[in-house]
Structure 1
Amino acid sequence: MGLTWKERAFTALLGAAAVSGLTTLILFLVEATNVLLPADTKFGIVFDAGSSHTSLFVYQWLANKENDTGVVSQALACQAKGPGISSYASDPAQAGESLQGCLEEALALIPKAKHQQTPMFLGATAGMRLLSQKNSSQAEDVFAAVSRVLSQSPADFWGAELLAGQDEGALGWVTINYVLGLLVKYSFSGEWIRPLEGTLVGALDMGGASTQITFVPGGPILDTTTQVTFCLYGTEHSVYTHSYLCFGRDQMLNRLLAGLVQSSPGLLVRHPCYHSGYRGTLALAPLYGSPCVQAAAPRDLGRNLTVEGTGNPGACVAAIRGLFNFSSCEGRGDCAFDRVYQPPVRGQFYAFSNFYHTFHFLNLTSRPPLATANATVWEFCQRPWKLVEASSPGQDHRLRDYCASGLYILTLLLEGYGFSQETWGGIEFRKQAGGTDIGWTLGYMLNLTSLIPAEAPAQWRAQSYGVWVAGVVFLVLTLVAILGATAVQLWLRD
């Protein structure tokens, strides 16, 4: 006796479910391919402990690298409250406490699962260099206090160290060339490329206690003590760099004032770099507390000094020139000042930190001709103090010093480093480039990523979109066939 139509329907639906289910299994398993998941993100924390303040930066990069160097971006910038850590020499514990706020902000940004894998480093610059010269035990106490606080955090603390001036200059050069895309950049064709060597720019940095110049010269570097070599993104770079301790903005102002005190008969100093009509008092003792000030201290250090401004830019320049030893380089084409070897400047330069802050205040960051820049600074120096105060409210503690700083920068760049009217146009005064702060910290992090092993991208099994859609369709057909067969079977029982 033959099967009824209900039994035939049940058999057909059961067979269809089996075929559709088998097809679904084949599509999901046999046609699956290996795909690369996005690389894991790594983080790093760097403290820049400068002479006047401390800044924290958080950087991030993908675990797979380009020619052994991470492609790094800035994720956070935070300025710690209070002065630089060298200012806490008499109370070292406060140096560590001053970093807590920014550290908490950084750890809140970085996922907790990555805290223990996040390298953290503190580099101290010229302020701590001076403290180490003045009182090495105090400097050691400050570093110990800072290390205690940072080592208690969940991040991987790599140490707190004194950064050499040469490293500060060279790493700043790495930073500016990296953010400008001159070391490596992503092409439209989807490949990482390295621009030509001749496109690299020089770096001009000025902190509170030191200033640095770094660039690729046109010929060999004859003094190897001024040469630093990097290997980044598979390419080797050799740069000239020199750091001038005591030639930073704040130490220059102290040295300038100490020189004027020495040439004044009493405790009244007529300051040519301060605006006419300015009058102020300050304590004498702190002025002679820095190793940079080598002038003989007056006997009555406990008394206050009265300073009056005369607003004379010509006399101000003469006093500033007294801070340099230009005569030691006379007749030499490869010398800057104070007998320091320097090849002739070459190419484009980026000037940042106090170079930028001073020229930004003076509205000189739009690359005006040298004559315009010079005339602007001189005109500002000759303004009466009341006019200057009225036009710039809220900037009292720095306001009196912009004239001296502007003339000092012009003297340093032109007479010191050897820029001319022709090469002046190649200097750009910037605080940031590509949304990233310019300084040594990013260069340090780029160099650090070459020491951290790269990770291979994770693999996963996945289907193409078309295969995935077909698999879903057959899965639905399988379920429909099974449900149909179940219904028919129940009908047969009835």
Structure 2
Amino acid sequence: MSPRLLRAVSRGWLAVLGLLTVAVFVLVLIPAKDAVVPTRFKYGLVFDAGSTHTSLYIYRWPADKENGTGIVSQVEACSVSGPGISSYADNPAGAGASLKPCLDRAMKIVPAEQQRETPTYLGATAGMRLLRMENSTKAEQVFAEVSKAIGEYPVDFRGARILTGSEEGSFGWITVNYLLETLVKFSFAERWEHPQDTEVLGALDLGGASTQITFQPGVPVEDRNTSVFFRLYGTNYSLYSHSYLCYGQSQALKMLLAALHQASSSAQISHPCYPQGYQENITVAELYDSPCAFSGFYHTLHFLNLTGGQSLSSVNATIAQICSSSWEQLQLLFPTASRTQLRDACTASSYSLTLLLQGYKFSHTTWPSIHFVQQVANTDVGWTLGYMLNLTNMIPSEPPAAVTGLPSCSWIAATVLLAIMLILTFCLLAATCCQRNSSGYEHL
């Protein structure tokens, strides 16, 4: 190529480069738009240390909360092997060791970079309440060992403590109503709102060592011991919540055995639930709403297939049939059940029914209003979710991070033009070098 032609081509490339440069500047000067970075999730761990077993629940919620409270969802539940931590009174170290497999599981779920900021709690219920009444020193030793075990993991451990009966009941009430969307609901306007004209439900919880009843009464609760106040999603709730220690299923069966033993001998059994025969009248105000019955109520009656809306007459007839069956007949009716389930089927179901009818005063008229549930929306019904929801009120919210930038189409166009500019610049430099080399050879 002659030098004159090469210069002409170079001038043409320079003109194109100039035009491309102007185009890139125009694209860059297009008004920028605000974009929201995807919300970061926070995680929380809650141990439910019940009287008969312990479970670890892993929760998460968007860092930007709704009216101060998180929209919490259950990620996974891990059942701890062995009995409840109160059973380790003579082996406190065993209580701590029992928690580690579930903690190991949680560490695989919570992102490593968020583990040290993940709040972790252990709440003990009626089993530890009884142990503390029997031997406070042993109870403290158990708590020390479980705290030591959890402290070995890179989490924000915020302590192990005994929940009061009212706390256990009221947190269960929060769980039920949150899952049934009576506290907050995602509206057609695509935002979280407090449902209007939606009646909240009561909560009936039956554990191993205690039973709880919680509901929102139509009149103020005068007894401070049974009055609970919450503020969730910008709305205030005043509840009645009463826990009856020793009226849990396991303790009720033990009381029955103790009464039979004492009736046949002069021996006196020392235990908080039956020092001289436990006496407490279960009296409760009239329920103003439909209740959800869970935990022991559900498991006991579900075993007999009585949680599907059967009438009270049908429930009575089924339990009567079970209680009049022989061991061989029970084995034929429930071929896959364990010996413990078969042994307790009559007593446990009879007790649950008696507690609901004679204790909580349900009748043929009000029985259909009871909803027996284990899960709602793939989430376990219990106190832990309500506990986590309430705690998110005290965990700082993180507003969505916003960035300012060009629309994606402008970035793509600018990137393509810049690539073309680089290619043309490279070609121009290469041509210039070739021209110089040719000029050098001509002078030789």
**Equivalent in the alignment of 1:196:** 196
Q: Show CA shifts across 1:47-73 (max 9, x none).
A: 111000111111111111111111111
What is the CA–CA distance in structure 1 between the aligned matches of 2:238 and 2:197, rounded to whole Å?
10
Tell me the distance in 2 between the aligned counterparts of 1:366 and 1:179.
19
**Partners of 1:367 and 1:135 in 2: CA distance:** 43
How many angstroms apart in 1 are the aligned matches of 2:104 and 2:21?
Answer: 55
**Structure 1 residue 407: Cα displacement:** 1.5
Give the 3-state SS of the residue equivalent to 1:60 in structure 2: strand
Kindly indicate whether residue 116 of structure 2 is the aligned counterpart of residue 120 of structure 1.
Answer: no
Q: Which residue of 1 aligns with 2:391?
A: 448
Q: Does 1:464 align with 2:407?
A: yes
TM-score normalised per structure 1: 0.83
Instruction: Give the equivalent residue in structure 2 for 1:426.
Output: 369
Q: How much identity, in percent, do the aligned residues show?
A: 45
1:458, distance to aligned residue in structure 2 (A): 2.0
For 1:59, the aligned partner's letter is Y
CA distance in structure 1 between the aligned counterparts of 2:75 and 2:377, rounded to whole angstroms:
13
Unaligned 5+ residue runs, structure 2? 439-444
- The alpha-carbon deviation at position 265 of structure 1 amounts to 6.4
Aligned to 1:401: 344
Find the aligned partners of 1:161 and 1:22 in 2 and give their Cα distance: 68
**Relative to 1, partners in 2 of residues 1:196 and 1:290: Cα closer, same or farther, differing over 3 Å?**
farther
Moved more, 181-190 or 95-104: 181-190
Q: Distance in 2 between matches of 1:86 and 1:97?
A: 14
User: Letter of the aligned partner of 1:290 in structure 2?
Assistant: H
Given the alignment, which residue of 370, 378, 383 partners 2:325?
A: 383
| Correspondence 1:439 to 2:382 | yes
Q: How far apart in 1 are the matches of 2:414 and 2:155? A: 46
Distance 1:165 1:225 in 2: 10
2:182–2:198 Cα contact (<8 Å) kept = no
TM-superposition CA deviations, 1:401-431 (whole Å, max 9, x none): 1211112112111221122222211111111
**Distance across 1 between alignment mates of 2:176 and 2:6:** 80
Aligned-residue CA RMSD (Å): 2.2
Q: Structure 2 vs 1, CA of residues 365 and 394 (structure 1 numbering), >3 Å: closer, same or farther? A: closer
Q: Aligned pairs, how many?
A: 434
Q: CA deviation at 1:218?
A: 2.7
Q: Which moved more, 1:144-153 or 1:437-446?
A: 144-153
State the shift of 1:386 in Å: 1.2
Amino acid aligned to 2:367:
W
Deviations 1:430-489 (A, max 9, x none): 111111111111111111111111112223343223323322342244234334534553
Is residue 128–residue 139 contact of structure 1 (8 Å, CA) maintained in 2?
yes
Taking the aligned partners of 1:190 and 1:475, their CA distance within structure 2 comes to 40
Query: Whole-Å Cα distance in 1 between the matches of residues 190 and 11 of structure 2?
Result: 56
| Cα contact 1:97–1:149 (8 A) shared by 2 | yes
Amino acid across the alignment from 1:55:
S
- Which residue of the partner structure matches residue 304 of structure 2? 362
Residue 389 of structure 1 aligns to a residue whose secondary structure is: helix
Alignment of 1:322-341 (within 5 A): 337-338=281-282, 340=283
C-alpha displacement at 1:252, in angstroms? 0.4
Displacement of 1:289 after TM fit? 5.7
Aligned equivalents of 2:25, 2:392: Cα separation in 1: 44
- 2:152 and 2:423 map into 1 onto residues whose CA distance is 61
Paired position in structure 2 for 1:104: 104
1:292 maps to 273
Structure 1 residue aligned with 2:235: 235
- In structure 1, what is the equivalent of residue 442 of structure 2? none
Q: Residue type of the partner of 2:85?
A: I
Which residue is equivalent to 1:310? none
Code of the aligned partner of 2:130: L
Q: Is the 8 A contact 1:64 1:454 kept in 2?
A: yes
Instruction: Answer yes or no: is the 8 Å Cα contact 1:258–1:295 preserved in 2.
Output: no
Preserved CA contact (<8 Å) 1:213 1:241: yes
How far off is 1:490 after superposition?
A: 5.0
Within 5 Å, give how 1:57-68 maps onto structure 2.
57-68=57-68
Equivalent-residue separation in structure 2 for 1:264 and 1:176 (angstroms) = 44
